[in-house]
Structures are given as structure tokens and as C-alpha cells.
Amino acid sequence: MITADELHLVEEALLGAVASDVDLLARASEYIIASGGKRVRPQLVMLAYRAVGGRDLTPVVPVAAAVELLHTASLIHDDINDRSDLRRGRATINARWGNSLALLIGDFVFVRLLNLIADLDPRVIRVIAQCCTGIVEGETLQMLHLGDTELTEETYLRIVELKTALLFSACVELGAAVGGGTEVQIAALKEYGLSLGYAFQIRDDTLDLIGEPDELGKPVSSDLGQGKMSLAAIYALKRSEGAKEILFSEDAQQVNQLLAETGALDYAATKAQECVEKAKRALFSLRGSQAKSELIRLADFAVLRGK
């Protein structure tokens, strides 16, 4: 298990990375970092490091901080594109400082992560660069399909892979590589991370439809209101002629009824659980350890959120 003290090392690295003589950049970056979250991605980096035999976390902390900064920068840009006012229950960067400054702040956070990895192994730089490309491609693909009620499950999963799953996979690949893992161990962890990322995002998208606003930290169905399709919505649209009107009606009760009656919630839950089981199977070849047990627990957590 990654302790609070160990995660604090990442927090210190994050704050150090976004230091700036320009007060606004420093304050805004610290604001978004302080909004927290569960730091799932840094935990994945450190757990993979430990799962292959790494002990002292010092070498892996910059990598854990870098992936969190990449994730943070992508969230800032997402909120600008989506015109979102809330994230994790707090005003978004764009809501507080406007879109133009928010764009610069997001760019600043992204550039600062490069400082963290500049002197690291070329593999670290290459993997993070691939994630950057994937996130941009995924966001672009999603924007091209906003409001697309004909969106296929295949295309939806491709968007999930690019925007979320590849970064999850990169987290454990990087942790294992820095920890001196073998290529067999690294491959197993990459498969784990990819499957976990799918499960995590499918559940996230479902919660956007049925979750509680206080838990989501944003209004229910905000993604759907922006035209973003979830797996449950795609399934319901295929099975009910009136699904389109109901899904975009902003009537939460009717939406929940539709998703339940068409079996859409069960379908999305089953797909997410299949991904979780695939993730856990990928870990079979790893030696038993507390870190491995925690990776399994995180996989289960991906589909238990909001229940």
C-alpha cells in the first residue's frame, strides 16, 4: 500500500514543478493541484515499481508526479473545450480565470512536466510522449463525434483507449521500468493498466448518468449534455426508438428508467467487470506481494465506485 507520507512526496514534487515567478501561473497551478483527487495514476506508478521489487521510492517520484501533471493539464483543456464550471466540486480553472488564461495555465502545467522527466531514461520520455499524442487524438476523435447518436461501441472504446487507458498502461509500464522489471513483467503490467483504464472510464461515464452530484463533483449528465456518448447511452439508443429524446431531455428520472429498462446499465457494468477480470488475470505471472494485492484492489475499486 502507498502510504499518505509516500503520496506526500508526490504532492511536494507537483508543487515544486509548477513554481513560477509569474504569480498567476503559480497560484492557478497550485489551485488545480490542491483540488486533489485520489491520485490513482501516481499510485499505479509506485505500486508497479514496488511490484517488480523496487524499494526506495525516490527514483520513481518524478515519474509519478509527471503523469499526474499530464493528467491535470488534460483536464484543464477538457474543461475549456466543454465549458465546464465545476470539477471535483470546485470551480474549474476556466470558470475562475477565463478560457484564454486557462489555456495558458494548461500549457504551463504540461510544459512543467517536461522538466521532471528531462534527465530520465529515454523510455520514460518516449512513453509519456506517446500518451500525449494519444490524449490529443482521443480528444479530437471525441469532439468529432459530439452528439453522434450513431456512434459505435468500437469507436467509443477507441476514444476511451486514447484518452484514458493508454495513460493507465503507461503508469504501470513506467513504474515497472524504473523499478528494474523484466520485459515479461512490464508487458503483464501494461496489459493490466490498459484493461483497468477501460474499466475505469466505462464506470466513470456510467456514473455521469446515474451518480450523485455531490459525489461526482459536477452536475449529473454533464457529459451527455455536452454530446459525449457513454457505453450505456450507446446501448440504450440501439434498443429504444425513443431513447434519443429521453437521453437529451435532462429528465434524470426518465433517463434512469430508460437505462434500466433497456438493460443498458447492466450491459455497461458487465463490460467494465470483464475489463477488471482481464486486468487481474494479467497479474497472474507476477510474484505475490503487497503491491500486487493493492493493484488487484484498485481494479475492483474501478467498478465499485458510486455503489
> Confidence band (pLDDT; 50, 70, 90) for 249?
confident
| pLDDT score of 250 more than 80 | no
User: What does the alpha-carbon distance between residue 77 and residue 139 come to, in Å, rounded to a whole number?
Assistant: 10
* Higher-pLDDT residue of 86, 44: 44
Render pLDDT for 183-229 as a digit per residue (tens, 0 to 9). Answer: 999 999 999 999 999 999 999 999 888 866 555 555 556 778 788 89
- Positive or negative CA dihedral for 90, 15, 106, 71? negative
Domains recognised in the chain with CATH numbers: 4-304 (1.10.600.10)
Q: Which amino acid is at 235?
A: Y
User: What does the alpha-carbon distance between residue 124 and residue 118 come to, in Å, rounded to a whole number?
Assistant: 9
Average pLDDT, the chain: 91
For position 212, what pLDDT does the model report?
A: 64
> Confidence band (pLDDT; 50, 70, 90) for 306?
low
For position 209, what pLDDT does the model report?
A: 85
For position 215, what pLDDT does the model report?
A: 56
- Region 249-276 average pLDDT: 92
* Higher-pLDDT residue of 156, 213: 156
Report the share of the chain in percent with pLDDT over 90: 75
Q: Which amino acid is at 276?
A: V
Q: How many CA atoms lie within 13 A of 108 on its CB side?
A: 24
> Confidence band (pLDDT; 50, 70, 90) for 241?
confident
- Please tell me whether the overall predicted TM-score, pTM, comes out greater than 0.75 for this model: yes
* Higher-pLDDT residue of 243, 1: 243
| pLDDT score of 307 more than 80 | no
133: left (phi over 0), alpha (psi -120 to 50) or beta: alpha
What is the distance between the terminal CA atoms of the chain, rounded to a whole angstrom?
A: 23
Render pLDDT for 25-53 as a digit per residue (tens, 0 to 9). Answer: 999 999 999 887 789 999 999 999 999 99
Report the share of the chain in percent with pLDDT over 70: 96
